[in-house]
Amino acid sequence: MNVIERIESQLKGHPVLLYMKGTPAFPQCGFSARAVQILEASGAAYETVNIFDDPELREALKEYSHWPTYPQLYVNGELVGGCDIMMEMHQSGELQKLLGGAVKQ
């Protein structure tokens, strides 16, 4: 499986997926930490991928998404954006609507 196939498999396997620097318990940049806080505040069930664990994926995802920075949030396989977009959407209530079907059990 090549790196693009791995990305597509991850996106198909998780309705809400955050590619981030570090993990939710130990984010390795402020933007990733904030993205996790936003998702936690939304009450959504989500998965994460630590881009530092896979340098090939880290570089390929930039090309795949046409988005040069991390974190990157995907919902139902579609790129939502990074931390700033997540924050704007959270403040306006748009993110909660988008995540509506992904509430934690």
pLDDT digit string, tens, across residues 52-65: 999 999 999 999 99
pLDDT surpassing 50 at residue 5: yes
Res. 101 pLDDT band, cuts 50 70 90: low
Q: Which residue has the tokens 């988008």?
A: 98
Model pTM greater than 0.85? yes
pLDDT digit string, tens, across residues 7-21: 999 999 999 999 999
- Pairing status of strand 47-50 against strand 72-75: unpaired
